[in-house]
Amino acid sequence: MVSVTMNAQSRSAVRLALYNTLGVEMNVAFDGVMEQGTRRISTNVAGLPAGLYLLRLTGDGISETRSIIVTR
């Protein structure tokens, strides 16, 4: 399980997706409207093979990418 804490300054459309290193989308943790404030989003990585993945957050005026390593 991977958890991400996000803080939205205002109500906005947000998408949080997990990609492999080839750019293939593996999982969408959240795709919708997030209200103002702090929110924790979790996604299950149990079915993914061990390796490096990119967690990408996009929304109104924001784009952030972080790497995560899945181990077994």
CATH of domain 2-70: 2.60.40.2550
Task: Record the pTM.
Answer: 0.85
Mean pLDDT of 10-22: 94
Q: What is the DSSP string of the chain?
A: -EEEEEEESSSEEEEEEEEETTS-EEEEEEEEEE-SEEEEEEE--TTSPSEEEEEEEEETTEEEEEEEEE--
Domain boundaries, the chain: 2-70
Encode pLDDT of 23-56 as tens digits: 999 999 999 999 999 999 999 999 999 999 999 9
